[in-house]
Structure 1
């Protein structure tokens, strides 16, 4: 068995375990036909108001399923307020979006279709009708769900999309090779020093977990680095009150259209003052390919992101956390070792 076959097998096992643990039967979610159907829906630009926007418009396979933009761009070039996160290894996420406002991929998949700044459809009935009327989709949904065109539902559509997204596994980085084999030729000496810093004095691992059997590099929790907070601080009482009094408007519409509400982070979901300006910890896998960084895309480079994270750790410790230029370089080199070679070559994981 060659290296690629081993990675394929390991990825399949990880996916099956995550599927079972999340309550879905393995034969349903890992069905190749369902994944292929979800991939077609993911790339279908006809399922948008302008006929030119799809899920893949923001989650571009060649860009590690991010888009390389500061904030996402939807129909008619409209800009949102948040940076597009990668979908690679999203099967490990316990909540979705930067503020965790959706618990499952099936729930998450519903929102972009009808968001005015994303795919812009009038309602969910529009996507269901479009799928029902497509002969290619009719046969595919019949094969996967046993559903005739007249009984294809939104739930069928989001299940297929979620199946495809759960298949986007990339846990074959040089770091993984090193952990598995302890071969010092797999990653550089600088990367090994960076890993020691990451796990030790730099305290990165306090949020970006490296637990067995496969390190996710996230705690799936919500933290504040203060990014963007100063922009809303003078009007914080007014902004939070406005949000609390306008719960009838869809939350995702408010977040993606209003930059001030977007900066409230997790608070927009919970209305708990402790959650103001807190955002979900992103995974660091393939992070070298997903610039710019932070929830608002305001940090251009990985080096700058490391500086901000180190500064934040110092605040937590109530003392400055000082890194030498070499240590900073070592940390960045380690983060680069979290890149899947298949993603780096712009191939599907």
Structure 2
């Protein structure tokens, strides 16, 4: 809850300012997303206390995924990074175990799940990009382009619905859909199960993880279990909110103030994961004809036309490109898009209005978003030959 008059505090409550002629430098290796919505009075006090194929033709590239041995051999099942909630969405019928995570990890990186044995989950969700993709659109079997950008899988244990259009309600439901999508892995789950049952290594892994062995349900549960341990927190913003007032620069603190006040970013990007887990129409799909209907495709409710899931902002500076269609290549034009009030259409979310931010304020916001980047344990090992993002035209 906001204190009366809280938003009328002077914008320049910080002692130092950043150079106004400097635009933010976009990290050329990646770009990503998350945040904690705190009561405004706590925020103000903290600030004061601180002292301040077809794919190739279109310029996309299928990056070879890192093999699973480039990830840490053991992923902690219980550790919760600073800034994240201890309450994770783990269904009672699929409790986390080391055996399930190990199996899910092996499956995630294995092209055995695709019809031609050449594409894996990691082909689109690369660990060196926080399990997202540097390509605007997902690239699937035989170089086919998907219809949407591959979002990060990090912190999806906190999710309440999945895919940009929310058509899956659990990670288990989400896990199998790419296998049978003709533009992604292009196979049938039954075909995958046949392969896995014929593989002695997988037979042992399934038997160790599940009493009933290799089944459709267990395949989904293993993949979901691996995704649930992909956590990212302990960013400079998290450390600042925990009391380390030197964790943020003056510019980042000004950006945080804007985020939580006049810019109104918090209205959708709230909570520990910097997403309300809801769906909004910003008008982005109205740039194409016909527009992508988003949530409407799943609900058939007229009011859901053009709505897409609010993405997390954690690691946002390292998970570009942005939007559901990967159509914006860097953070500056993203903020400009919202600064102009999105794109008008009959279903535009009423919260999307022109912000009238100055150039300096956009700089501060971008600096704040960069401070949501974490040094995560799941990153590629030093020296690994990971993918490098392409420069978007």
Q: TM-score range by the shorter chain?
A: 0.7 to 0.9
The higher-RCO structure (CA 8 Å, 6+ apart) is 2
Separation in structure 2 between the aligned mates of residue 75 and residue 311 of structure 1, nearest angstrom: 38
Matches of 1:189 and 1:344, distance apart in 2 = 30
Report the counterpart of residue 10 of structure 1 in structure 2: 80
Distance 1:126 1:23, change over 3 A: same
**Which deviations, in whole Å up to 9, do the C-alpha atoms of 1:286-308 show, x marking residues without a partner?**
11111110011111101111111
Structure 1 partner of 2:280 = 223
Alpha-carbon offset, residue 347 of structure 1: 5.7
Moved more, 58-67 or 320-329: 320-329
- Contact 1:266/1:276 (8 A) holds in 2: yes
Taking only aligned residues, the RMSD between alpha carbons, in angstroms, comes to 2.6
Which residue pairs with 2:309 in the alignment?
280
Q: Distance in 1 between matches of 2:83 and 2:353?
A: 43
What's the offset of the Cα at 1:313? Answer: 7.6
1:297-345 alpha-carbon deviations (Å, 9 max, x no partner)? 1111011111112333898469642111111000001001001123796
2:303 aligns to what SS in structure 1?
helix
Confirm or deny that 1:36 pairs with 2:102: yes
In terms of fraction of residues, the more helix-rich structure is 1
Give the equivalent residue in structure 1 for 2:186. Answer: 120
Rounded Cα–Cα distance in structure 2 between residues aligned with 1:270 and 1:13? 33
Distance 1:285 1:205 in 2: 13
Matches within 5 A, 1:131-170: 131-148=196-213, 152-170=214-232
Q: Deviations over 1:136-193 (max 9, x none)?
A: 1111111111235xxx211001100000001000011111111112x22211111111
Q: Is the 8 A contact 1:110 1:158 kept in 2?
A: yes
Query: Who is 2:195 aligned against?
Result: 130
Match of 1:48 in 2: 114
Which residue number corresponds to residue 101 of structure 1?
A: 167
1:208 to 254, 263, 269: 269
Alpha-carbon offset, residue 10 of structure 1:
2.8
Distance in 2, matches of 1:178 and 1:266, equals 35
The offset of 1:58, in angstroms, is: 0.4
TM-score (norm 2): 0.72
Of 185, 190, 198, the residue aligned with 2:246 is 185
Instruction: Judge conservation of contact 2:284–2:343 (CA < 8 Å) in 1.
Output: no
| Unaligned ranges ≥5, structure 2 | 1-75, 345-349, 383-393
Check the 8 A contact 1:190/1:330 in 2, yes or no.
yes
Q: TM-score of the superposition, structure 1-length normalised?
A: 0.81
Check the 8 A contact 1:62/1:343 in 2, yes or no: no
Q: Following the alignment from structure 2 to structure 1, what is the Cα–Cα distance between the partners of residues 355 and 323?
A: 20
Tell me the residue number matched to 2:238: 176
Q: Is the 8 A contact 2:296 2:302 kept in 1?
A: yes
1:196–1:130 CA distance, 2 compared to 1 (3 A): same
Distance in 2 of aligned mates of 1:137 and 1:314:
49
Distance 1:54 1:217 in 2: 28
- CA 1:162–1:265: 2 relative to 1, 3 Å: same
For structure 1, the residue ranges without an aligned partner over 5 or more in a row are 1-5, 234-259
Contact 1:38 1:163 (C-alpha < 8 Å) held by counterparts = yes
Matching of residue 338 in structure 1 with residue 372 in structure 2 = yes
Tell me the matched-pair count: 302
